[in-house]
């Protein structure tokens, strides 16, 4: 059974700085988080910063924010990190085990922003009694949503959604009883190919797919946005976060990226959360929760924008969203397989081993090839199914690439 999102009724304040850690400190979410933290250094004390392999950027962030610990997941980057931190008094470490240990360090608030399934183990490790976990890694819930939310409930952690759409739903759900929520609609910009023909989309290059019209994000998320797979993953994430059924979730394409989600109530009211497309808005909401911070972002000017438009997603031109919606409806292990296959497909596309249309083709073929089963209930089960699905996807890659070319 899916465990609903838990939120505290009130904050407790000892007057001490909030101890924070950032997992994924050199990515777009991590840097936006540290930008907010740096604007009020008296309010925050940085415990640990984690990155994949960019030792130079990580060391600079650790020094700028007076972190106690900096960790690179790639052991090969340790020497550079240690050299860059020499004389600073900041502890350096490397390797997957060190990442998990960093996630467990004493902190009041942890940003979980490691991209992909690689973020699952450290995000689970970051869950602790009384801790607030700002979750920006949607793959945690797609790969092991039942396990993740159950663990959070067991230890009494508070999971705060960072994705702009889920943060918008979170805010909208505070306006009425959960039982009165009828429908939740996530919005999608439509990505760079919103108006392209199916043939043009199929021939799209990585450079074209990486040119998102509204958001500045990492490569993986940007490609997922271009295929609309990102919106399918977000539907699965929303199901777990907010204890919703598949038929209570919907998607609308909204090119302006001003309305991030809509929550429809039983009395007919529909609440829309709006803001400029800047990830510092939802991050600030999570960082200050339940207090509103004074954010540095541009204020929304609806008169200047003039109009907001909405349209149904085209599941023929964007089959990845249809496949993800089918996995959502199927439940069980399907979302775990979906996510693993998609990570392999996106990496292959960026490496030019697969066409853009081949992304959806490889995911669909992998879902057909991996035997369906129950949703993983332990970290070991989730990682084993992920590994199996990746191996199957890799095995199918050449065949799918040939068909899609």
234 is in an annotated binding site: yes
pLDDT digits (tens, 9 = 90+) for 227-243: 999 999 999 999 999 99
Instruction: Please name which of 5, 296, 327 lies closest in space to residue 169, comparing C-alpha atoms.
Output: 5
Could you tell me the CA-to-CA distances from 15 to 36, 78, 233 in Å, in that order? 19, 36, 39
pLDDT digits (tens, 9 = 90+) for 188-202: 999 999 999 999 999
Claim to verify: residue 155 and residue 303 sit in the same structural domain: yes
pLDDT higher than 60, residue 322: yes
pLDDT higher than 70, residue 103: yes
Q: What CATH code is carried by the domain that includes residue 8?
A: 3.40.50.720
Q: Which among 311, 335, 363 is the end of a domain?
A: 311
Claim to verify: residue 326 and residue 234 sit in the same structural domain: yes
pLDDT digits (tens, 9 = 90+) for 131-155: 999 999 988 999 999 999 999 999 9
What is the residue range of 7's domain?
Answer: 1-181+276-311
Q: Which among 289, 311, 333 is the end of a domain?
A: 311
Q: How many domains does the chain have?
A: 2
Specify the DSSP element, H or E, that contains 219. helix 219-227
Specify the DSSP element, H or E, that contains 394. helix 379-404
Instruction: Give counts: helices (H), strands (E), the chain.
Output: 17, 11
pTM of the model: 0.92
339 is in an annotated binding site: no
231 is in an annotated binding site: yes
pLDDT digits (tens, 9 = 90+) for 39-93: 999 999 999 999 999 999 999 999 999 999 999 999 999 999 999 999 999 999 9
Half-sphere exposure of 67 (CA within 13 A, CB side): 29
137 is in an annotated binding site: yes
Give the mean pLDDT of 97-102. Answer: 97
230 is in an annotated binding site: yes
Claim to verify: residue 245 and residue 189 sit in the same structural domain: yes
What order of strands is seen across the sheet that includes strand 109-112?
A: 91-94, 69-72, 44-51, 18-23, 109-112, 132-135, 158-161
Claim to verify: residue 212 and residue 360 sit in the same structural domain: yes
Instruction: Please name which of 188, 194, 318 lies closest in space to residue 253, comparing C-alpha atoms.
Output: 188
Claim to verify: residue 159 and residue 191 sit in the same structural domain: no
Mapping DSSP to helix (H, G, I), strand (E, B) and coil, where does residue 388 land? helix
Claim to verify: residue 225 and residue 256 sit in the same structural domain: yes
167 is in an annotated binding site: no
Per-residue confidence at 14, pLDDT binned at 50, 70, 90? low
Q: Which among 311, 334, 355 is the end of a domain?
A: 311
How many residues comprise the chain? 405
pLDDT higher than 50, residue 8: no
Per-residue confidence at 404, pLDDT binned at 50, 70, 90? confident
225 is in an annotated binding site: yes
Claim to verify: residue 104 and residue 122 sit in the same structural domain: yes
Query: For the range 289-292, what are the long-range contacts, defined as Cβ-Cβ under 8 Å and sequence gap of 24 or more?
Result: 289/7, 289/11, 289/132, 289/160, 290/7, 290/8, 290/10, 290/11, 291/11
Residues contacting residue 381 through CB under 8 Å, at least 6 positions apart:
none
DSSP 24: T
150 is in an annotated binding site: no
Q: How much of the chain, in percent, has pLDDT values that exceed 90? A: 89
395 is in an annotated binding site: no
As a whole number, the mean pLDDT across the chain is 93
Structure tokens at 101: 């240990």
pLDDT of 213 reads 84
pLDDT of 215 reads 74
165 is in an annotated binding site: yes
Give the mean pLDDT of 96-125. Answer: 95
Claim to verify: residue 120 and residue 157 sit in the same structural domain: yes
Per-residue confidence at 1, pLDDT binned at 50, 70, 90? very low
163 is in an annotated binding site: yes
212 is in an annotated binding site: yes
């Amino acid at each position: 059974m899916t465990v609903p999102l838990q939120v505290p009724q009130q904050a407790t304040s000892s007057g001490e700085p909030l101890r924070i850690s950032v997992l994924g400190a050199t990515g777009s979410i991590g840097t936006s988080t540290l930008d907010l933290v740096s604007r009020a250094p008296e309010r925050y004390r940085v415990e640990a910063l984690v990155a994949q392999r960019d030792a130079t950027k990580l060391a600079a962030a650790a020094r700028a924010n007076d972190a106690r610990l900096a960790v690179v997941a790639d052991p090969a980057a340790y020497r550079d990190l240690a050299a860059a931190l020499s004389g600073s008094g900041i502890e350096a470490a490397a390797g997957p085990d060190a990442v998990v240990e960093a996630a467990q360090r004493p902190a009041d608030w942890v940003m979980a922003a490691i991209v992909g399934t690689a973020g699952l183990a450290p995000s689970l490790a970051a869950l602790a009694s009384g801790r607030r976990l700002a979750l920006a890694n949607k793959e945690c819930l797609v790969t092991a949503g039942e396990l993740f939310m159950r663990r959070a409930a067991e230890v009494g952690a508070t999971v705060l959604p960072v994705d702009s759409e889920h943060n918008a739903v979170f805010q909208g759900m505070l306006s009425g009883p959960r039982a009165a929520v009828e429908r939740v609609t996530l919005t999608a910009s439509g990505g760079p190919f919103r108006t392209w023909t199916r043939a043009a989309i199929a021939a799209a290059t990585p450079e074209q797919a990486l040119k998102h019209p509204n958001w500045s994000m990492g490569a993986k998320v940007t490609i997922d946005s271009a295929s609309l797979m990102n919106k399918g993953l977000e539907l699965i994430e929303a199901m777990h976060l907010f204890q919703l059924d598949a038929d209570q979730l919907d998607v609308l394409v909204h090119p302006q990226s001003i309305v991030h989600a809509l929550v429809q109530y039983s009395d007919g009211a529909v609440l829309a959360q709006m803001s400029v497309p800047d990830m510092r808005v939802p991050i600030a909401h999570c960082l200050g929760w339940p207090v509103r911070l004074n954010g540095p972002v541009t204020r929304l000017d609806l008169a200047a924008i003039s109009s907001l438009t909405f349209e149904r997603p085209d599941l023929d031109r964007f089959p990845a969203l249809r496949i993800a919606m089918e996995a959502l409806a199927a439940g069980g292990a399907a979302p775990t397989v979906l996510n693993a296959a998609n990570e392999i497909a996106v990496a292959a596309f960026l490496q030019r081993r697969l066409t853009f249309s081949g992304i959806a083709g490889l995911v669909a073929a992998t879902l057909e090839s991996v035997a369906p089963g129950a949703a993983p209930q332990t970290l070991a089960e989730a990682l084993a199914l992920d590994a199996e699905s990746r191996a199957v996807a890799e095995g199918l890659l050449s065949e799918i690439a040939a068909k899609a070319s």
